[in-house]
């Protein structure tokens, strides 16, 4: 059955459409944080950030059905739904970030944010980290450093390294030294761009540094980066596609952990709980400038069905107290996992925030050499124990644990036992 | 009420988010080809191509609800829905066009098609018509000729004029002369690009020429254009976002009217009846090449909810015989409208195909000078009579009539009477 479906998939979507795991999981149903495969086996979903409030959430399904049965139309007619949602969404931001352009994907959002920045500054130069991914349009492919694209890095793009206090080379150093070195590297990248014909349009940065492997960055790094970009005349674009909407707990947006005041914020993945919904939040001045210069329109974006779904996601987050849940369960997992990690010679300390966390796997007991292949074996072993997760980082050596925020107290032992069993197997 | 909603909209989406009509319509419900505003007034929708099988179609709503209540997940796990849909969609194309990359919007689809063409050819140069629109990403903004973007036309972009046999200057000419002149202009554009550092990657062309104003092109123009691009080593990308899915009647895809064999076809607007769904259809060879070179992934695209909706749209088109309906009602409208247009000194002949048609409005009885402002008044006067439509073309002088394919026999007199009344008012 699975083989035949895989053949049919190859014959329509092609052989390169990515699939997880040595033996792909054939899913047929989901509910809360649980997924069911075609054989009836249930998996704890400790990977997916898109079904933010849980798979097949009844309130989200009903918002979708009810609005689709009433009206689904573009925004060139007046309709309350999109305005209601825009108000509810913007209420989650600091004053100043008062306007939103809805889109259908994080890729569309980041591409649009860069159009705004490029037009505003009259410059083209963009700064990104050296292991990042912000989307799949032509523009974004030319600034992708975290996965393979055929396009070379654009001449107008400079990348910089994100300092990690837990990296082997930094463990014995003072935080202030790591910070100074990292900001010096940012200074070089900004300086190079500023001196080039391209100038500095923006830094595009995801403040949790997910693709980068959830590094523990020195305090002051992100704000120092932003200061330098601003000083060179560029805008700061916070990509909240992964870090946003309560994912990190406590703060609703990832950039707020760093005291950042971004000029533009981009939103994606969890915004519609799986419905294609994303957006760009910015200031009235930047939107006025962009809007007056471009006949910008997006056919699907902001339709009342997308808006009703997005609005219901915000309500469910509040009414089910999912941010508090993220903080509580995130801390509990940390408390239980940290001692086990500290005691294990091949595992690094816990990384990440809230319900987006992981740890690095090393080849030996001195924790010097990251071990991507062993991390892959760990991912497969955790899956064999009924829990789905993945791995990240430049060499794929960091476990990526990122369940829906609907994770419950009872699910935590399931996750921890699967991890413990898989780690035991790694040793064996 | 409407004023206050408009103020709230300006304070969230900004003042430039486009709205139709001098007095925007505030919609609250839709069913079939009918829309209802906040005062309870009903409008015949003779504009919208996205709600292809009709507003709030019960089968589409149920497909959406039922799959959303079961599972909504990305394509890195196996799932039948996306494969079932891909097979059903690809069955609508000629053999050879056997692979599909699903996306969330026509913009994403056209941007991706150009990534494929650019990588395949090793060239960057793109040909577009001189009044076209293919989407809102940075790449596409730099090749937009049909509406205002702040980005200048890219150095690697050349535009060519689309010949119109009904244009005042061509009316007295032989079709073969118009064709020869038009192809000579294509030769120049292709030759310029081929001789430049950019080379020829592709022509991106929408074969109904909607934004261009539905010109009546000479037989052999589109195939001649394709031959020239192929001869220069470029790919032919048929943008079916507007012309596809039975819209033109008889042929399922717009490019088939011209006997074209495109290398890549892009899909959008009507594909999900309002659900954000779009895609790129191409050959196994081109997808294999692209897939092997890029870790391409699209988080939302191809999720089982989008796939279930897209699949149900195809089924409804078949089971409700909507393509035959398009042919029949398109012909009936032509039969009734053509004599009235021929008899009117300020109106041009009928343009377009199937249920996408219009006619040009001129300033005087000699039908020499297109009259955009009068066309705008006509649009407003038709709206005052309870029918929604719009206008297109380089000067906005062509009426744009494009109802959902769910239009019924009984709706035709409503449309024709509103048009007749508005034309009378124009004369008055």
**pLDDT tens digits for B256-309?**
999 999 999 999 999 999 999 999 999 999 999 999 999 999 999 999 999 999
Helix (H) or strand (E) holding A160: strand A157-160
Reported as a single tens digit per residue, the pLDDT across A333-357 is: 999 999 999 999 999 999 999 999 9
Residues in B closer than 8 angstroms to A105, CB to CB, are 104-105, 108, 298-301
Residue A294 CB coordination number (10 Å)? 20
Q: Which of residues 37-96 of B touch A (CB under 8 A)?
A: 48, 50-51, 55-56, 58, 60-61, 64-65, 68-80, 82-83, 86-87, 90
Task: Identify the CATH class of A59-319.
Answer: alpha beta
**Tell me, what's the pLDDT at A365?**
79
Q: Which pLDDT score, from 0 to 100, does residue A364 have?
A: 81
φ and ψ at residue B141, rounded to 5 degrees: -60, -35
Return the DSSP state at A217: P
DSSP conformation class of A218? P
- Cβ-based neighbours of B257, under 8 Å, separated by 6 or more: B207, B208, B248, B251, B353
Interface ipTM? 0.98
Task: Tell me the per-residue pLDDT of A5-16, one tens digit each, with 9 for 90 and over.
Answer: 999 999 999 999
Q: For residue A137, give every residue at least 6 positions away whose Cβ sits within 8 Å of its Cβ, in sequence order, or none.
A: A107, A108, A110, A111, B108, B111, B112, B137, B138, B139
Quote the CA–CA distance of A252 and A246 in Å, as a whole number.
Answer: 4
Residue with structure tokens 């309906």? B325
Q: Does A1 touch chain B (CB under 8 A)?
A: no
Q: In what order do the strands lie in the sheet with A235-239?
A: A99-103, A278-282, A264-267, A235-239, A202-205, A126-129, A157-160
Q: Which of A48, A78, A284 sits opposite B9 (nearest CB)?
A: A78
pLDDT tens-digit map of B328-339 = 999 999 999 999
Inter-chain CB proximity B71 and A20 less than 8 Å: no
Q: For residues A135 and A107, is the Cβ–Cβ distance under 8 A?
A: yes
Interface test with A, best of B137, B154, B266 (most A CBs within 10 A): B137
Minimal-distance CA residue of chain B relative to A59? B69
Contact A13 B101 (CB under 8 A): yes
pLDDT band of B365, cuts 50, 70, 90: confident
- Tens digits of per-residue pLDDT, A35-73? 999 999 999 999 999 999 999 999 999 999 999 999 999
Q: What is the mean pLDDT of residues A237-244?
A: 96
The DSSP code sequence of B107-169 is HHHHHHHHHHHHHHHS---EEEETT-----SHHHHTT--SS--SSPPPTTEEEEPPP-TTSGG
CATH 3.90.1150.10 fits B2-53+321-427, yes or no: yes
Interface test with A, best of B5, B17, B101, B132 (most A CBs within 10 A): B17
User: B285 to chain A: nearest residue by CA?
Assistant: A14
**B226 in Cβ contact with B186 (< 8 Å):** no
Question: What's the whole-number average pLDDT of chain B?
Answer: 97
Is B111 an 8 Å CB contact of chain A?
yes
Containing B305, the helix (H) or strand (E) segment is: helix B304-319
B2-53+321-427 and B59-319, same CATH topology: no
Q: Where are the domains of chain B?
A: 2-53+321-427, 59-319
pLDDT at B426 over 90: no
Beta carbons of B115 and A108 less than 8 Å apart: no
> Does B145 score more than 70 pLDDT?
yes
What's residue A3's pLDDT? Answer: 63
């Amino acid at each position: 059955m699975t083989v035949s479906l895989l053949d049919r998939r190859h014959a329509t979507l092609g052989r390169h459409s990515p699939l997880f795991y040595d033996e792909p999981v054939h899913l047929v149903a989901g509910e809360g944080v649980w997924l069911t495969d075609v054989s009836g086996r249930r998996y704890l979903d400790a990977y997916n950030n898109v079904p933010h409030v849980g798979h097949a959430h009844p309130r989200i399904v009903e918002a979708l059905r009810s609005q689709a049965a009433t009206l689904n139309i573009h925004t060139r007619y007046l309709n309350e739904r999109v305005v209601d949602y825009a108000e509810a969404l913007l209420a989650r931001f600091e004053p100043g970030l008062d306007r939103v352009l809805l889109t259908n994907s994080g890729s569309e959002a980041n591409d649009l944010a860069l159009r705004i920045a490029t037009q505003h500054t009259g410059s083209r130069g963009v700064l990104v980290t050296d292991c990042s991914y912000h989307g799949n349009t032509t523009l974004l492919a030319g600034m992708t450093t975290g996965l393979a694209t055929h396009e070379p890095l654009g001449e107008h793009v400079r990348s910089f390294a994100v300092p990690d206090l837990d990296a082997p080379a930094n463990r014995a150093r003072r935080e202030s030294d790591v910070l100074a070195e990292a900001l010096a590297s940012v200074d070089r990248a900004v300086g190079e761009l500023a001196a080039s014909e391209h100038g500095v349009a923006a830094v595009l940065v995801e403040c949790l540094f997910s693709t980068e492997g959830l590094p523990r960055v020195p305090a002051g790094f992100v704000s120092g980066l932003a200061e330098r970009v601003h000083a060179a005349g560029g805008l700061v674009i916070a990509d909240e596609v992964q870090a946003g909407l309560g994912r990190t707990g406590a703060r609703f947006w990832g950039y707020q952990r760093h005291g950042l005041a971004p000029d533009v914020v981009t939103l994606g993945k969890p915004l519609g709980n799986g419905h294609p919904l994303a957006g760009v939040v910015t200031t009235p001045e930047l939107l006025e400038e962009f809007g007056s210069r471009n006949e910008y329109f997006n056919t699907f974006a902001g339709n009342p069905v997308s808006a009703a779904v997005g609005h219901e996601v915000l309500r469910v987050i509040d009414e089910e107290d999912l941010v508090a849940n993220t903080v509580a369960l995130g801390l509990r997992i940390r408390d239980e996992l940290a001692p086990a990690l500290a005691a294990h010679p091949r595992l690094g300390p816990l990384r990440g925030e809230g319900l987006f966390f992981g740890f690095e796997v090393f080849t030996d007991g001195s924790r010097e050499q990251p071990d991507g292949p062993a991390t892959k074996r760990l991912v497969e072993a955790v899956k064999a124990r009924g829990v789905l997760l993945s791995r990240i980082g430049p060499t794929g050596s960091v476990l990526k644990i990122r369940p829906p925020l609907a994770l419950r107290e009872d699910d935590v032992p399931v996750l921890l036992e699967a991890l413990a069993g898989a780690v035991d197997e790694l040793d064996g």
